[in-house]
Structure 1
Amino acid sequence: MEKLQLQLFLNIIGIGSASGLLFKENSLFLISDNSTYLYEYQIEKASLEKHALVENPAENILKKDKLDFESIALKGNNVIILGSGSTKKRNQRISYDLKTKKIENKDFSVVYERFKKEASLSDDELNIEGLIITADKSYFFQRGNAGNSANGIFILNADDSLVFKKIILPKINDVEATFTDAILVDTTIYFLAAVENTASTYLDGEILGSFLGRIKVENFELENTILISKINKFEGITLFKESDKEIEFLLCEDNDTEELKSEIYKLTINQ
């Protein structure tokens, strides 16, 4: 995973602070951590559609009020969206049916309380930034950027048992990288991790860089990490194309501004 190419792929006007994305059938589904819409961008038509996820949806919501949608994943025909859990307002699990466009909203507080107990996290240390769903397990990626919390993966099994796997990530200027998203490709987890000079799940800090990493799902051993940017805070990753020779991902960046504009990057690596 040493050879890579990172390039600007799309500029999307109408969505800001993109925090997660999902590519399916030539459409990009995006979420924003300060919005209560699911955005659908049709690449061939270059058109953007907004799907309201709650009553009275809004954009550029004040930090203290936002639901902080940070994770997006596909479960069958449903797009699953999660709040980060970093405050009481951020405990929502929303399901959007791609066929019927029906929306179901569930309070995920009970599950998040189990996470905090399992990993010995205080209320302000939980910060879920990535989600992978398989037939028998769900993987939740904890961003360890507050207090004594650590990077790790909560594995919730079909029998409702729960395990927390702590993951140590590389550092820049003595600041450890922290998970910002992850996807599963075959039997390998590819993840993003950002180095942000802050000890808070609430406040932003200076961006020192972003890594792409790889973990084998059967043993959760960290196989490799590579610095892909020294200036970007990448918060979302999705599989775009895959061949025998290379794999292409699309990445989104949280620009931490109120501007309704998002840059989508394409990252290509050798297999």
Structure 2
Amino acid sequence: MSARTDSKVFYESLPSASGLEYVQGAYYVLGDDTPYLYEVDEQFILVNRHAIFDTTAVVEGRIPKAVKPDLEGMAHFTYGRDQMLLLLGSGASNTRNKGYLINLSDNMQVQELDLSRFYTFLKEVLHLESEGQLNLEGLAMDDIYTYLLQRPLGAGSNTLLRFDTDDFKRFLMLEGEVPSVALYHFDLPVIGQSSASFSGAYSLEGKLYFTASVEDTPNAIDDGEVLGSFIGVIDLYSLPQAMDALNPYKASVTQLKDTDGSAYSGKAESLVVMKGEEPKSYKVIVVSDDDQGHSELLEVQMELDES
């Protein structure tokens, strides 16, 4: 497979992009240290921003690292007649255990979620014993399943957590029981001494597409030098081959290329995938974060291998 950037747009005033979703002609961009959800039109013009929560903690346009909610995953789903967005914190610290529901059908009404109980459950099933090891970096939902991506630290495997979507919605909307989960483990490429790790997800027609990046950092809190970014795809029918944590399944990936064909040097954070005009051809919109308070949106041409 291949993924080459056709064009890109730099956003000076959109900080730290971490999530992306497309709903009814609009792209919604999430940042991990901003209290706003940003709205971008189909020409990639920033047209609006919507406050998610109190903005008083903002310093020079960003929330300080120690108190930021670190919203890293976003997905669209329907609930009755309503179009909803779910925003999830990474779970890497107590300040990052929150989520938000935004009702696109009801004037962007926001509901805050305390996910402490859910994240405690995830730490247990992932066998994470210390603070900072949970690091959820991708979220995708379809009519059948909901997917969360755990970005590992050190030698751990990249883990896909799969939930039944109806159970997951019941948990979110009706304060139901924590949904049961299935775990799948994946092997991603290495650059230098560092392995690529999940950063974003998007579900389309039986496949889970993801972004991954290689970042030289010792923990889930601090940023590090970005060594490269990837786009990958998981055939969801292959998940039974990815159940062994000691023998993670090799995911299909390609390094993201810049407009000149060189390796893209930014940190790809999430993506939206749309079918192209030719078989095995896709238009991919990627958001990236430069860790300096700015963001970039990339229009990428992706070609999958014949199978």
Same fold (TM over 0.5): yes
Greater shift, 28-37 or 39-48, is seen at: 39-48
**Bigger strand fraction:** 1
CA displacement, residues 217-252 of structure 1 (integer Å, 9 cap, x when unaligned): 122354511111351210011124533332011111
2-side partners of 1:10 and 1:95: how far apart? 28
Alpha-carbon offset, residue 92 of structure 1: 1.2
2-side partners of 1:88 and 1:147: how far apart? 21
The secondary structure found in structure 2 opposite 1:218 is: helix
2-side partners of 1:13 and 1:197: how far apart? 25
Alpha-carbon offset, residue 97 of structure 1: 0.9
Distance 1:222 1:65, change over 3 A: same
Contact 1:129 1:180 in 2 (8 A): yes
CA displacement, residues 40-96 of structure 1 (integer Å, 9 cap, x when unaligned): 122349342111111336441110010001111101110111111001111111111
Match of 1:28 in 2: 27
Match of 1:167 in 2: 186
CA displacement, residues 144-190 of structure 1 (integer Å, 9 cap, x when unaligned): 1x255431011123452112212111111121100000111101111
1-side partners of 2:6 and 2:276: how far apart? 17
The answer to whether 1:125 aligns with 2:160 is no
How many percent of aligned residue pairs carry the same amino acid? 27
Quick one: which amino acid aligns to residue 200 of structure 1? N
The answer to whether 1:143 aligns with 2:151 is yes
| Long gaps (5+) in structure 2 | 168-178, 240-248, 257-262
| Long gaps (5+) in structure 1 | none
Quick one: which amino acid aligns to residue 249 of structure 1? V
Quick one: which amino acid aligns to residue 14 of structure 1? S
Match of residue 273, structure 2, among 239, 242, 252? 239
CA displacement, residues 194-226 of structure 1 (integer Å, 9 cap, x when unaligned): 011112101111111011111111223545111
2-side partners of 1:124 and 1:44: how far apart? 38
Match of 1:224 in 2: 252
Quick one: which amino acid aligns to residue 267 of structure 1? V
Aligned positions of 1:44-193 closer than 5 A: 44=43, 46-56=45-55, 58=58, 59-76=61-78, 77-100=83-106, 101-121=108-128, 122-144=130-152, 146-147=153-154, 149-157=156-164, 158-159=166-167, 160-193=179-212
2-side partners of 1:151 and 1:44: how far apart? 34
2-side partners of 1:7 and 1:65: how far apart? 37
Contact 1:178 1:193 in 2 (8 A): yes
Q: What is the number of equivalent residue pairs in this alignment?
A: 267
